[in-house]
Amino acid sequence: MATTVGSMIGSSAPARLASDMRKRTKQGVTTTGQLVVLAVEACYALVTDIFARRFSWSEFMLQAWFMTQVSLLPTILVAIPFGVITSVQIGAVAAQIGATSFSGAVNGIGVLRQGAPLVTSLMIAGAVGSAICSDLGARTVREEIDALKVMGINPVQRLVAPRVLASAVVALLLTVIVAVTAMVTAFFMNVGAGTISSGAYLGSFVSFSQPADLYMAEFKALIFGFIATIVAAHKGLSARGGPKGVADAVNQAVVLSVILLAVVNVGLTQAYVMLFPAKA
């Protein structure tokens, strides 16, 4: 009898696993479709409202200022040690192979192409995305979103579109701040240690850098800010079950945003390398 029960339990385990995988796959496809729909609706509302002169600029300014407050200081505090670690590691390798004169180019280009957009994406997903998700999630569980719909107000048009534009602008500014902070930190770490002169450090960076590096960093920041806001808004508007539902939505928004931003970063980097090869 025990053997029969054990065999039944063992045979049902693969079935439960397959059922769980099908359920998760279905949820993933549904979430992807909902994100795409929300992104299209937000872009359409943003463009039409701006051209029709009914865009809520007051909400945009309020959200942009709020996002700057919650993300500016943490971003700077993360950029400084990032610049220190980058300069120390690259400086050690450059000294070993006798290429100290190229440390400025490697530090600067590495920070500009990868470091600044990556740090910005983490700050946008963690600080800004969680704030957006908690705000919209609280409005959802308090049935404020339903009240807006009853009054004939589109929540995407009124709440999501201004936040999308605000996060994009803030992400562009944060990328510049991260790049400048990290590169200045790396400059003082290398020049201050006496391993390279300031002229050689800056000269190597100017010789190998391209304007496309800055354009790509800003483009990444724009895409990252858009994705993080759409994910946070979707999870916030889908929150159910009171405060616990809001907390779960914030957790899901941050995790999903980080994963999507990492995947998109890899794709954009590979496309950039193919379209703009390094100068000989």
Domain count, the chain: 1
Q: Is residue 48 part of a domain?
A: yes
Residue type at 113 in one-letter notation:
R
Average pLDDT along the chain: 80
Q: Is residue 204 part of a domain?
A: yes
Which pTM does this prediction carry?
A: 0.83
Q: What does the pLDDT read at residue 41? A: 87
Give the number of residues written for the chain.
Answer: 280
Q: At residue 78, does pLDDT exceed 70?
A: yes
Q: Which domain holds residue 151?
A: 30-275
SS3 279: coil
- When mean pLDDT is compared across 21-35, 163-177, 234-248, the lowest value belongs to 21-35
Q: Is residue 98 part of a domain?
A: yes
Is residue 236 within 8 A of residue 133, CB to CB? The reply is: yes
Alpha-carbon span 218 to 224, nearest angstrom: 10
Q: What does the pLDDT read at residue 8? A: 47
Is residue 133 within 8 A of residue 249, CB to CB? The reply is: yes
Residue type at 247 in one-letter notation:
A
Phi, psi of 251 (to 5 degrees): -60, -45
Alpha-carbon span 137 to 233, nearest angstrom: 8
Pick the most confident of 22-26, 35-39, 191-195, 208-212.
Answer: 35-39
- When mean pLDDT is compared across 42-46, 106-110, 269-273, the lowest value belongs to 106-110
SS3 74: helix
Q: What does the pLDDT read at residue 279? A: 56
Give pLDDT tens digits for 42-68: 888 888 888 888 888 888 898 889 888
What DSSP designation does 154 have? Answer: -
Q: What does the pLDDT read at residue 59? A: 85
Q: What percent of the chain has pLDDT over 90?
A: 1
Q: What does the pLDDT read at residue 2? A: 47
**Banded model confidence at residue 100, pLDDT cuts 50, 70, 90:** low
Q: Is residue 133 part of a domain?
A: yes
Q: Is residue 197 part of a domain?
A: yes
Give pLDDT tens digits for 8-48: 445 576 777 777 777 777 777 787 888 888 888 888 888 88
Q: Is residue 223 part of a domain?
A: yes
Q: Is residue 14 part of a domain?
A: no
Q: Is residue 105 part of a domain?
A: yes
**Banded model confidence at residue 5, pLDDT cuts 50, 70, 90:** very low
